[in-house]
Chains A and B, each alone.
Chain A
């Protein structure tokens, strides 16, 4: 009889754990199906790159490619 109780608890535990794992893995549509030019990330990381001066310093602005 105890086995039934243990089995029920085991079922509930597996259910809860898988639920949490998959919920954590879920992505919104724009993250799961992005277009190459779409910024998918936190504000403050722009598409162009860290250097907006346009002076073309070596290792500077042009390196800032879009985040893939």
Chain B
């Protein structure tokens, strides 16, 4: 053993001498000078084949390796897409939200100041009521609507909360509010999705595009002129609202479900995309719903009753949804069962 040790010491000394004799490389350290003790007899230096960060970035979108942790997310060494996510969440999304939501409010205020409330002028009130929406339809609408209000407000808190509310509430109060807002957002998503599904099933038939829709849209529904183009159960504007809610709501539901169960379906890049979809769809739909709320309450006299009590004046219905009233009347004449107050009212 002593002789082997002596040989080893001799070998090491020789190597050291060689190293000292070799001029130290002053350039960027990829070139290994000949004679340096790297130990590979073939002359190939395995360390020179080592990957560098830049090389990996050029070849892969994310740098991933192997870990002994069961959580596969831990194997990601670097994901540069986080930078894009940060830019989106702190730059793009607040701008989109601000422009779209505030812009809608400004547009509605301007419209109200210019046109005012659309009154009943031109409508001959008959005093006779016709059922526009039954109890189940109204229940579904209101359950979805209440859920949406909660979701919109809590959702906007994720983006604008720290900019607008934090300075007013201070860190602890704002964090508590945000915590409950998060729970509320996660929880009210479910009644929203249930209501959305029911609404789509209930109303898709009446919202399919029909012949008068083009005319209605071109006349802008008569909002400015005061004339009333004919419309079915839902006019073209309402159909646009339906489809915005249906498609936007489905996008929100899908991306929202992805986020409610993180990393079960997608990896980190998929989750980031779900955030993009959810944020943009949410902002756009919020703006659309603001307009919908406006027209259904303040914007048009007589409109609220449709979803509030379910009964609208027959004259109002004839003016705004003439084709629907005539088809209802035809059904009544053919002997379809009438509503409770028979004679004075036609049921659905």
Contacts and interface: CB of A to CB of B under 8 A. Distances in A.
Q: Do chains A and B touch in the complex (CB under 8 A)?
A: yes
Given A8-B146, A29-B71, A15 B184 contact: yes
A10 interface: yes
B191 A14 contact: yes
B135 A11 contact: no
Contacts, number: 54
Contacts of B70: 33-35
A11 B191 CA distance: 5
B112 interface: no
B143 A11 contact: yes
Contact of A15 (B142, B145, B188): B188
Nearest to B72: A33
Nearest to B185: A15
Nearest to A18: B190
A26 to B, nearest CB: 11
Contacts of B140: 7
Interface in B165-197: 183-184, 186-188, 190-192, 194-195
A15 B186 CA distance: 8
Interface in A26-63: 29, 33-35
Nearest to B142: A7
Contact of B194 (A4, A14, A19, A29): A14
B297 interface: no
Contact of A3 (B142, B147, B183): B142
Contacts of B143: 7-8, 10-11
Contact of A7 (B139, B150, B310): B139
Interface residues of A, number: 17
A26 B309 CA distance: 42
B187 A7 contact: no
Interface residues of B, number: 26
Contact of B139 (A10, A15, A19): A10
Interface string B280-312: 000000000000000000000000000011100
Contacts of B150: 11
Nearest to B147: A11
A4 B293 CA distance: 15
A11 B143 CA distance: 6
Interface of A: 1, 3-4, 6-8, 10-11, 14-16, 18-19, 29, 33-35
Given A4-B142, A7-B140, A19-B187, 15 more contacts: A1-B309, A3-B138, A4-B138, A4-B146, A7-B138, A7-B146, A8-B142, A10-B139, A11-B188, A11-B192, A14-B194, A15-B187, A15-B188, A33-B70, A33-B71
